[in-house]
Every structure is written in C-alpha cells, then in structure tokens.
Structure 1
C-alpha cells in the first residue's frame, strides 16, 4: 500500500499550520493556481520505495518541496527554506495510518525559471514511515 498521498497531505497540513512560514509566503500548493503571487511553496514530486522490517509495512519517501520566489537573488528562498526546515527536518510528521520513523532534510538545489527569472529552491526530504496496524 502506498503512503504517498498520506505523506503529501501531512506535508501540506504541517506547512499550512506553521504561522512563521505562512507569514512569509502567500500559500502552500499541490497545484499552483494561475493567479498565485510569489513567494509560495509547492508540494512537488515524490519517490517511494518499500522499507519493510519484521513483516511490518514501511515506506521510504523522497519528497520535493519547491520554494518559489519572484525576488532578485535567492535570499528570500533561503530564508523560507530555513523556516520549512524548522517545520520538517527531524520533526514529528503526523501521517494518517502511519507512524513516522524519521523526517530528514536531505539536500536542496537552486533553479532559475525561464523566461520569468523566478527563483526556485527544490528541497528534498527523506521520510520513513511504518504502517500502523489497526
């Protein structure tokens, strides 16, 4: 059974619930509306692989969080990344039907969006969950 949807929803809710983050951005999106204003955060792509131990269903997910900014340079993105890390890196993530074993910031990459020159930081988080027996 895939944990992708549950983790995506947990990431989105965790970020939306953080007042410090929401004071810096205009929204957290799965699908960015055409009229969205910068800066904002996007729950991006994810890769999942089974990580079963002792006959219990576990999953390891690499989840991409995209930080989008219209500012010149990356300072705004880096400031938002720090706040996203405060929310997700080594913090308990509440994932429906799963126990979170770990949520760890893995790396980030900077990107310039053409032709708009918008700045983007793609942060990757490694999330390990184990299915809760009901």
Structure 2
C-alpha cells in the first residue's frame, strides 16, 4: 500500500481551489508540465514515503517536493516567493480529505532557491502525515 497518490490528489485539489494562487500561475499546476509550458508554473513531483504504522493501523509519512518555476523578466525569484507564500497559506499546517487515508497534517519543511539557465526555481519541501 502507498499513500503517495492519495496525498498528491488531495494537495492538487486544495491548491486548485485557491483562486488567488491559480490566477498568479495561470492555472498551471502540474505533475509533469507540458513541453514549452508558459511561466510561472508549479509541479508536484518527487515524493518519498516511510512507514508510520501504529497500533495495528497503516500509517505513512510522505515527503514531497513542489517546484515553482518562474523566468527572468517575468517576475523571477520575487514572483516565485510570492507564489510560495500562497502555497504555504493553502497547505501548511492543514488537513485535507483523502480517498483512502486520513491526513493528520501537512507541514512545510524547508525551501531552497536556484537559478537554472534563465529559469528561477524555488524548491519547497513538505511533509504529510496520514493514517
């Protein structure tokens, strides 16, 4: 069993429901962005999962990486940080409905910034606990 897909779907739903965030990124929230996608956009990507079974009940810690992509001349790191604030307001310290599991909490762990050619990227990592 794995909770990763359930976590991704619930976070995608929560982020998609934030109209301010969706306006800021032009509804560009992806698992895998299309070729030549416009900037800015967010990907919900890499995940790891560890066992958190307790008292004969399945449980999981899911760590996921969200990447916020912007481009020089289109807001750069400033825009990426504004987007990250909206993401944090939406999911940090929150619980979301999941199909198979009960989310105990989603919390922000850390973020980093990097520049890749002419792209500005923020990597934001979140931990999700679910049973």
Match of 1:19 in 2: 19
Structure 1 residue 92, shift from structure 2 partner: 1.8
Structure 1 residue 16, shift from structure 2 partner: 1.2
Match of 1:100 in 2: 103
Structure 1 residue 71, shift from structure 2 partner: 3.3
Q: Deviations over 1:73-122 (max 9, x none)?
A: 410000000000011101122221111111000000111123xx200101
C-alpha RMSD of the superposition: 1.1
**How far apart are the structure 1 equivalents of 2:72 and 2:103?**
35
Unaligned residue ranges in structure 1 (runs of 5+): none
Count of residue pairs the alignment pairs up: 128
Structure 1 residue 38, shift from structure 2 partner: 0.4
**How far apart are the structure 2 equivalents of 1:66 and 1:59?**
22
Aligned 1:1-40 pairs, distance under 5 A: 1-26=1-26, 27-40=28-41
Unaligned residue ranges in structure 2 (runs of 5+): none
Give the ranges of 4+ consecutive aligned residues of structure 1 lying more than 2 Å apart after TM superposition. none
Normalised by the length of structure 2, the TM-score is 0.93
Normalised by the length of structure 1, the TM-score is 0.91
**How far apart are the structure 1 equivalents of 2:71 and 2:43?**
14
SS at 1:52's partner residue? coil
Match of 1:79 in 2: 82
Match of 1:119 in 2: 120
**How far apart are the structure 1 equivalents of 2:20 and 2:94?**
16
SS at 2:88's partner residue? helix
